[in-house]
Amino acid sequence: MNPAFTPSPQRYLTGITTTGAPHLGNFVGSIRPSVVASRLPGVQSFYFLADYHALIKCDEPARIQRSTLEIAASWLAAGLDPERVAFYRQSDIPEIAELTWLLTCVTGKGMLNRAHAYKASVDKNAAAGNDPDADVSAGLFMYPVLMGADILMFKSHKVPVGRDQIQHIEMARDMAQRFNHLYGEHLVMPEAVVEESVALLPGLDGRKMSKSYNNTIPLFAPRDQLSRLIAGIVTDSRTPREPKEVEGSALFQIYQAFASEPETTALRKAYADGIGWGDAKQLLFERIDREVAPMRQRYHELIGKPGSIETLLRAGAEKARAVATPFMNELRQAVGLRNLASQTSAPAKGKSLKSDVPAFKQYREKDGQYYFKLIDTDARPLLQSSGFDSPREAALVISTLQKDGLTALADQNGKVKIFEGVSTEALDAALKAFRVN
């Protein structure tokens, strides 16, 4: 293998809807794995608070505001480093709403009819003898398209989610495919990453831990509440000294999600040796509390400083928009929302429409640096950048070139070179195509 080979970075993206306080299931299934992924070398992460999605399910403004703060603080308390990732609030990125519309126009209504969440509402209405769409908002129907925009905006490769979200990722792939077929290869096909333990983390009653079953243990419950909730986990009626089975034991499964291999083995043996349920619950409480206590303290410190979380999220939005703004410009060009002064002649019938606009192509070289090229409609290169340390820096330069055209080129101090033989007029015309106003 070529030692100089650097794999291109994998982009991870995930969001949490801001309608409540996070519980242990969210922690094990989403927060903890996404923090781990954000530390892997070669991974670029986008993590966000899905507050537009929250409006679909919740019409209590104060609750949405509070939940946004709590979920942001939870992610940070769990060790997310906002310097390493783009950590932002969905509603701070207006391009998401804009892309939602472009995707709406390439999404089949029939596909949305088949979305599990929408279908469940319709089935419920049918069973009750109501109009099929009674109390179903267009927002619920459009949920998968908004989610598609979240994912496709940042060219995400991997999307860590719970099992129930897999269908949404498949729909995002479908939208990307349809868009690319119509307008050229702009969108990247995402893939769901499902943490097996997510689907499995049981709640107090043994069913999957979920807000809708009202069987959750809040991640940052105070110690005494945590202890009380754990005492309420369902067990069978076996008495102390009777051997117990780990299969189907909610208590054991929750323990396993927090403990190391040897700890889990020890509890398995204790079950066989007939540990009493009270002692097993005490062990579980201590194990969770050991893991959660330092985070709980950081969480409360963070919650006490909402202003600094606000500042941090705004900085995150700036990072995310450095990518979203130029990409949205590219997509506007692609679909024909263009500057009229750069009119392209009407294509002959049957001619492919795919490359009738210039494009910025971003890539990574073996040296690990990020580069871009500007190519014209005949795929002829017009501009070549030198290397940037991060894709974000490259995107920022693209963004200024799109906004200010030739004048911005002069400010780049030679970091962006004009290809030999390219006239200023050709370059000016190509850059003008991106200008929105």
The amino acid present at 308, given as its one-letter code, is S
Candidate list 150, 195, 356, 376; residue touching ligand TRP; CB under 6 A: 150
Q: Residue 244 interacts with ligand TRP (CB under 6 A)?
A: no
Q: Residue 151 interacts with ligand TRP (CB under 6 A)?
A: yes
Least separation in angstroms between residue 142's CB and ligand TRP is 12
Judge whether 384 and 369 are in contact, CB under 8 Å. no
Q: Tell me, letter by letter, the H, E, C secondary structure of 286-337.
A: HHHHHHHHHHHHHHHHHHCCHHHHHHHHHHHHHHHHHHHHHHHHHHHHHHCC
Least separation in angstroms between residue 404's CB and ligand TRP is 33
Least separation in angstroms between residue 297's CB and ligand TRP is 27
Number of residues that bind ligand TRP (CB under 6 A): 12
**Closer CB to ligand TRP, 91 or 402, in the complex:** 91
Least separation in angstroms between residue 71's CB and ligand TRP is 11
Q: Residue 173 interacts with ligand TRP (CB under 6 A)?
A: no
Q: Residue 26 interacts with ligand TRP (CB under 6 A)?
A: no
Candidate list 23, 32, 53, 244; residue touching ligand TRP; CB under 6 A: 53
Q: Residue 391 interacts with ligand TRP (CB under 6 A)?
A: no
Candidate list 28, 31, 35, 50; residue touching ligand TRP; CB under 6 A: 50
Least separation in angstroms between residue 52's CB and ligand TRP is 8
Rounded Cα distance, 225 and 231, in Å = 10
Q: Residue 51 interacts with ligand TRP (CB under 6 A)?
A: no
Q: Which of 247, 254, 245, 248 is nearest to 216 (CA)?
A: 254
Q: Residue 321 interacts with ligand TRP (CB under 6 A)?
A: no
Is 306 exposed, middle or buried, given 0-12, 13-18 or 19+ CB atoms closer than 10 A? middle
Q: Which stretch binds ligand TRP (CB under 6 A): 14-22, 199-207, 209-217, 303-311?
A: 14-22
Q: Residue 402 interacts with ligand TRP (CB under 6 A)?
A: no
Neighbours of 241 (CB within 10 A): 9
Q: Residue 198 interacts with ligand TRP (CB under 6 A)?
A: no
**Closer CB to ligand TRP, 56 or 416, in the complex:** 56
Tokens of 344: 């392209």
Least separation in angstroms between residue 77's CB and ligand TRP is 19
Is 231 exposed, middle or buried, given 0-12, 13-18 or 19+ CB atoms closer than 10 A? middle
Q: Residue 18 interacts with ligand TRP (CB under 6 A)?
A: no
Cα distances (angstroms) measured from residue 297 to each of 133, 222, 325: 45, 10, 37
Candidate list 37, 64, 73, 161; residue touching ligand TRP; CB under 6 A: 161
Q: Parallel, antiparallel, or unpaired for β 43-50 and 86-89?
A: parallel
For the segment 128-147, give every residue that binds ligand TRP (CB under 6 A).
147
Q: Residue 165 interacts with ligand TRP (CB under 6 A)?
A: yes
Rounded Cα distance, 397 and 416, in Å = 9
Q: Residue 153 interacts with ligand TRP (CB under 6 A)?
A: no
Q: Which of 17, 2, 40, 5 is nearest to 365 (CA)?
A: 5
Rounded Cα distance, 37 and 33, in Å = 6
DSSP structure string for 368-390: S-EEEEEE-TTS-EEEEE--BSS
In the complex, the residues that contact ligand TRP under the rule CB under 6 A are: 13-15, 17, 50, 53, 147, 150-151, 159, 161, 165
